[in-house]
Amino acid sequence: MPFDLALLRSQFPDRHIEWHAAVGSTMTIASRLAASGAASGTVIGAEEQTAGQGRHGRTWHSEPGSGLYFSVILRHQFTPSTLPVVTLALGLAVIGAILEATDLTCDLRWPNDVLIPSKKSEGKCAGILTQLEGSAIIAGIGINVNHSQFPVELSGIATSLRLVSGRAHSRERLLLELLPSIDHYCALLERDGPEPILKLYSRASSYVTGRRVCVDTTLVGTTAGLSDSGFLILRGDDGHDNLIVAGGVRPCS
Find the binding residues for ligand BTN in span 115-174 (CB under 6 A).
127-129, 140-142
Considering beta carbons, is residue 121 or 192 the nearer one to ligand BTN?
121
Q: Does 31 bind ligand BTN (CB under 6 A)?
A: no
The single-letter DSSP state of residue 39 is P
SS3 assignment, position 226 = strand
Buried b / exposed e over 83-112, threshold 16 CB at 10 Å, is: ebbbbbbbbbbbbbbbeebbeeebbbbbbb
Of 45 and 221, the one with the shorter C-beta distance to ligand BTN is 45
- In the bound state with ligand BTN, the residue whose beta carbon lies nearer, of 132 and 241, is 132
Does residue 231 belong to the site contacting ligand BTN (CB under 6 A)?
A: no
Q: Looking at residues 39 to 78 of the shown chain, list those that interact with ligand BTN (rule: CB under 6 A).
A: 49, 52-55, 58, 60, 69-71
Q: Considering just the CA atoms, what is the radius of gyration of the chain in Å?
A: 17
φ and ψ at residue 48, rounded to 5 degrees: -145, 145
Smallest gap from Cβ 167 to ligand BTN, in A, equals 23
Closer CB to ligand BTN, 30 or 234, in the complex: 30
> How many CB atoms within 10 Å of residue 36?
7
What length does the chain have?
Answer: 253
Q: Residue number with the shortest CB distance to ligand BTN? A: 127
| Shortest distance (Å) from residue 112 CB to ligand BTN | 5
- Site membership for ligand BTN, residue 112 (CB under 6 A): yes
C-alpha closest to that of 27 among 51, 63, 47:
51
Residues in the interface with ligand BTN (CB under 6 A) total 20
Residue whose C-alpha is closest to residue 20's, from 60, 62, 49: 49
Which residues are at the interface with ligand BTN (CB under 6 A)? 25-27, 49, 52-55, 58, 60, 69-71, 112, 127-129, 140-142
